Amino acid sequence: MAQPNEIYDKYLTRAISEINELTGEILRCSKCSHARTMPVIGSGHPMADIFMLKYQARPSELHEGVAFFGRAGTALMKSCQRLKIDPLQLYGTNVVKCGEVRGGKPEAKCLEHLRRELGIVNPKLIVAMGAETVQALNAAKVPLAGELAYEPGEIVELTPGTEVLVTPDIDASLDEQRLKAAFWRAFRRLGEWYDNIPPY
């Protein structure tokens, strides 16, 4: 009989392979007429418990090609350290993988990529940052998902195995103290949630 570590290693190997395959598809994607940059790929543990999701990449992410590179990533890592959350439990990505969205709606291909990314990582909690991100999660039609509302600080069930914590948009919250405080008020619920995860 396989030992628990062997089973985990097999799941991890499969998740790495599937994330690499998806990354290759995202890098080759030519659906977006607005794309003037290389796509920005997700980063973090491919079987993370916590899936950080924001709407679209900022210039530093577009320059490096990696989600949450730059100010937003630094702010989130500091926040997670303060909440004593293991960074190995994190995976981060954007709904829109390349450039800025024209007309305020992500391409169907972006939503398909997001659905697949969620299916591979299979997180226990999604941190959905900003109203546009919540709308995109609803539009992605994740199997068995309920409808989400934009209610910062609330943790609600998305599917039978995954919850969502809604927060304000991290990128829009970095330059003003009032907005930073509002983001932190919502985000610190993650610490309570994390403390209550059973250790098995």
**Average predicted confidence (pLDDT) for the chain:** 88
* Nearest CA among 169, 171, 50 for reference residue 118: 50
- Predicted TM-score (pTM) of the model is 0.90
* Residues 21-25: contacts with CB under 8 Å, at least 24 apart: 22/113, 22/116, 22/117, 22/120, 25/113
- Least confident residue range of 10-24, 54-68, 97-111, 122-136: 97-111
Q: Give the percent of the chain with pLDDT over 70.
A: 90
Summarised one tens digit per residue, pLDDT across range 102-128 is 556 777 888 999 999 999 999 999 999
**Domains in the chain and their CATH numbers?**
4-195 (3.40.470.10)
Q: How confident is the model at residue 189 (pLDDT cuts 50, 70, 90)?
A: very high
pLDDT at 123: 96
